[in-house]
């Protein structure tokens, strides 16, 4: 195929080098190109901003793909014009390119779509900007809202520098004539670039740019003095992309401007997770120089597929290698770079090459023609070796006033937490330790039917066990412990929380007549405490074992910023089975059927938002009248499982149970109606069972009216069975503990009547 490449810098030389290696390429044309690109392509001396001339050239040369490198042609609408001519184009349209051409637009877009970024405000007047910065009270960064060729960001270190930066960047004007002031974030930077086809994306290896001119990150900001890649694992990069790339594609598509091209997210990895510093609507420069050499596959094929809306993310694969790029800058860069100095390039080591960024030919000799002149790139199996090759290549270059940093990637030869989930506030090791500590307890619940459990990507359960059933029906349920978890965590009593989630889940499928097969848990926290996680899962294993259920595995997730410090969420999914003919509720419920209540063990897992408010200020370690132990003991009594109590009754033939109602959130008033057919009410006779002391204390302390108590709490009855009047005595004999006849069904409208 014939390709037209727009641009003439180091980024485009890197693109040309990768495209030239594709077996699909027949001919490449570059506009305007440079002395390095001209060895790979035919160069046409057109301005990248001459939209019509470039589009005409693409038609004239019958190219099959246009690839646009720089931001200015994108903002000028070149991609739109190319597509109007019916030619596939890898480059963002003008409207989508506003993610780069207007920082004010991009920041407002991030706010609209929930993308994490720094606090900010845009201004068109210096006085208002200066006043806001002083009122904001924290260090800020000043950014030109429009395009500024990599020189539109100033990080002031004093009020004087702040005022000067505001004045300087407002004078640049730009598309909307504004500047953006945003909170200065602390952390390490990361460049994330994705190839996009409007809906799908494929990530390039993440890189880190060194933007300051001088070693040690001193001096003015530049367009970039060097890069290294990769700086984190693919898994972590994909996690970042889910937060900062996917929402952009969804949002722009929803707003009618789908993004096709290279989407660049500049991130700051803060202690609270990644925050977007900026978006670019094109390949980064000099990030592209280290990303592309690490690809394993055909870049041209991926660009062409993306341009046609057919990108398969699997087309982009990463080599297990490292790359480093050292930028060689002209004398006077970035403020006043000198041009026209002769350049000589010596012999380069194997595994290193030189990319032209700001060079030209004068009288047959290579000379400087821009601020960033050359990019020395090295690739090897380790970062240290890649850096060594890049610096050996840089040292072979000479021109008057040449300048390059000597510390590109020096602090990342041995990746620390910044190159792991810890950069986002996530400690993978904590999760691994938790898994190791809980493994024995989990495996103890396995029988021969478990084929794969903890440690696998998904559980495997041998379904041939179900062959003994005539017509098996699978029943599944998902639930969580809720705010009882907070109480257990605060008191350091977490093992019973594992019992809570499993037993609650048992009861939720038991009301449909099902018996448990396997359970899978989910535990999420701001920060994982391996010992607490293991203790909770040990409780789950105990409950599963008692119910003849396999704890098949689960998931732990660390999500800093999503949960409050020291908080945790415990949830789970259970799968059970029942013979189709024994499913509950049965269709023959009728007036006169009797409601039998089975005692609860306490609050179970519901009503804790109200209960915690009521007991605030009470002494949890005190023995209050009527309680068998302390108040904490009563509040944290595990949710009981009704499987052993109802086992015989559910197996009996004929089965006396017509329906079961698990009294959970919503109490009597909302749970019993779930099983009632139209035309029947449940009449509950208050006083027909002993209400435990804990509920009386909560009602008294909180001054809660009676109806609300029965709406929120189980009031001592955790499960209600509905049986025919003639089966009541048989049912009571089959239940191995005292149960209570608490009411009956009567004609009505599907409600509960308490009296």
Which residue ranges make up each domain of the chain? Answer: 2-90, 98-324+375-382, 428-582, 594-754
CA-wise closest residue to 719 among 585, 598, 593, 568: 598
pLDDT of residue 443: 73
Query: Which residues neighbour 671 within 8 Å (Cβ) at sequence distance 6 or greater?
Result: 661, 662, 663, 664, 720
Tokens (6 digits) for 598 = 């089975």
pLDDT of residue 435: 60
Query: Which residues neighbour 173 within 8 Å (Cβ) at sequence distance 6 or greater?
Result: 146
CATH of domain 428-582: 3.30.1330.10
Q: What is the CA radius of gyration of the chain?
A: 34
**Pure H helices in 547-642:** 608-615, 631-635
pLDDT of residue 430: 52
Blockwise average pLDDT, block size 10, the chain, 755 residues: 97 98 97 97 96 97 97 95 97 94 89 89 90 88 80 84 88 73 90 96 96 91 94 90 93 94 95 90 97 96 96 92 97 94 95 97 95 97 94 96 94 43 46 59 75 64 86 94 90 92 96 94 84 88 93 82 79 94 94 97 93 90 92 95 96 95 93 93 96 95 93 96 96 96 95 92
CATH of domain 98-324+375-382: 3.30.470.20
pLDDT of residue 450: 72
pLDDT of residue 433: 54
Query: How far apart are alpha carbons 212 and 423 in whole angstroms?
Result: 22
Q: What does pTM read for this prediction?
A: 0.58
Backbone torsion region of residue 295, taken as left when φ is above 0, otherwise alpha when ψ lies between -120 and 50, otherwise beta: beta
* Other beta carbons less than 10 A from residue 119's beta carbon: 13
pLDDT of residue 593: 97
Query: How far apart are alpha carbons 565 and 577 in whole angstroms?
Result: 39
- The owner of tokens 């199996």 is 381
User: Looking at the domain 2-90, which fold is it?
Assistant: Rossmann fold (3.40.50)
CATH of domain 594-754: 3.90.650.10
């Amino acid at each position: 195929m014939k390709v037209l490449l727009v641009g003439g810098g180091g980024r485009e030389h890197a693109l040309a080098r990768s495209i030239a290696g594709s077996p699909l390429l027949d001919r490449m044309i570059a506009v305007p190109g440079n002395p390095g690109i001209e060895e790979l392509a035919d160069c046409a001396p057109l301005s990248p901003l001459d939209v019509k001339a470039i589009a005409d050239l693409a038609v004239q040369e019958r190219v099959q793909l246009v690839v646009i490198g720089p931001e200015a042609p994108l903002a000028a609408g070149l991609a739109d014009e190319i597509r109007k001519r019916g030619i596939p184009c890898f480059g963002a349209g003008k409207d989508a390119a506003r993610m780069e051409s207007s920082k004010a637009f991009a920041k407002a877009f991030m706010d609209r779509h929930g993308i994490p970024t720094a606090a900010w405000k845009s201004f068109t007047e210096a006085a208002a900007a200066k006043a806001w910065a002083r009122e904001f009270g924290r260090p800020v960064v000043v950014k030109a809202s429009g395009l500024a060729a990599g020189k539109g960001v100033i990080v002031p270190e004093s009020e004087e520098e702040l005022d000067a930066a505001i004045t300087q960047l407002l004078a640049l004007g730009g598309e909307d004539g504004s500047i953006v002031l945003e909170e200065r974030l602390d952390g390490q930077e990361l460049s994330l670039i994705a190839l996009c086809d409007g809906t799908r994306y494929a990530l390039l290896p993440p890189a880190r740019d060194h933007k300051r001119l001088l070693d040690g990150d001193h001096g003015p900001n530049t367009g970039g003095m060097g890069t290294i890649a990769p700086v984190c694992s693919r898994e972590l990069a994909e996690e970042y992309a889910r937060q900062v790339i996917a929402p952009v594609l969804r949002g722009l598509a929803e707003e009618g401007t789908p993004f096709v091209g290279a989407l660049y997210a500049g991130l700051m990895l803060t202690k609270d997770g990644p925050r977007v510093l900026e978006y670019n609507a094109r390949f980064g420069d000099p990030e592209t120089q280290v990303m592309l050499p690490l690809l394993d596959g055909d870049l041209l094929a991926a660009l062409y597929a993306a341009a046609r809306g057919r990108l398969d993310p699997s087309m982009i694969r990463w080599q297990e290698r490292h790359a480093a790029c050292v930028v060689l800058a002209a004398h006077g860069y970035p403020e006043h770079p000198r041009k026209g100095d002769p350049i000589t390039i010596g012999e380069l080591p194997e595994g290193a090459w030189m990319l032209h960024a700001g060079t030209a030919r004068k009288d047959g000799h290579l000379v400087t023609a821009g601020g960033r002149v050359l990019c020395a790139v090295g690739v090897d199996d380790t970062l240290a070796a890649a850096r060594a090759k890049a610096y050996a290549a840089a040292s072979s270059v000479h021109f008057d006033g040449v300048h390059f940093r000597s510390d590109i990637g020096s602090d990342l030869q041995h990746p620390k937490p910044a190159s792991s989930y810890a950069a986002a506030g996530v400690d993978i090791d904590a999760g691994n330790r938790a898994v190791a500590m809980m493994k024995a307890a989990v495996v103890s619940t396995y029988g021969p039917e478990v084929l794969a459990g903890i440690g696998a990507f998904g559980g495997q359960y041998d379904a041939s066990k179900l062959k003994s059933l005539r017509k098996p029906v699978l029943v599944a349920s998902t639930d969580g412990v809720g705010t009882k978890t907070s109480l257990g965590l605060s008191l350091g009593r977490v093992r019973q929380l594992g019992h809570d989630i499993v037993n609650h889940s048992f009861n939720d499928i038991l009301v449909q007549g099902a018996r448990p097969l396997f359970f899978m848990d989910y535990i999420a926290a701001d920060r994982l405490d391996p010992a607490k996680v293991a203790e909770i899962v040990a409780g789950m294993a105990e409950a599963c074992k008692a119910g003849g259920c396999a704890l098949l595995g689960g998931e732990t997730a660390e999500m800093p910023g999503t949960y409050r410090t020291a908080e945790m969420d415990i949830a789970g999914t259970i799968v059970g089975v029942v013979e189709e003919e024994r499913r509950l509720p049965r269709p023959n419920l009728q007036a006169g059927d009797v409601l039998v209540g089975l005692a609860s063990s306490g609050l179970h897992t519901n009503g804790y938002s109200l209960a915690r408010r009521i007991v605030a200020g009470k002494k949890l370690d005190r023995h209050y009248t009527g309680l068998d132990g302390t108040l904490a003991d009563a509040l944290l009594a595990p949710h009981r499982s009704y499987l052993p109590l109802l086992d015989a009754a559910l197996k009996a033939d004929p089965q006396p149970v017509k329906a079961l109602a698990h009294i959970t959130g919503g109490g009597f008033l909302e749970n019993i109606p779930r099983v009632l057919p139209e035309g029947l009410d449940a009449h509950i006779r208050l006083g027909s069972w002993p209400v435990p002391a804990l509920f009386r204390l909560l009602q008294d302390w909180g001054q809660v009216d009676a109806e609300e108590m029965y709406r929120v709490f189980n009031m001592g009855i955790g499960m209600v069975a509905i049986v025919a009047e003639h089966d009541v005595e048989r049912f009571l004999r089959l239940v191995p503990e005292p149960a209570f006849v608490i009411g009956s069904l009567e004609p009505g409208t599907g409600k509960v009547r308490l009296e």
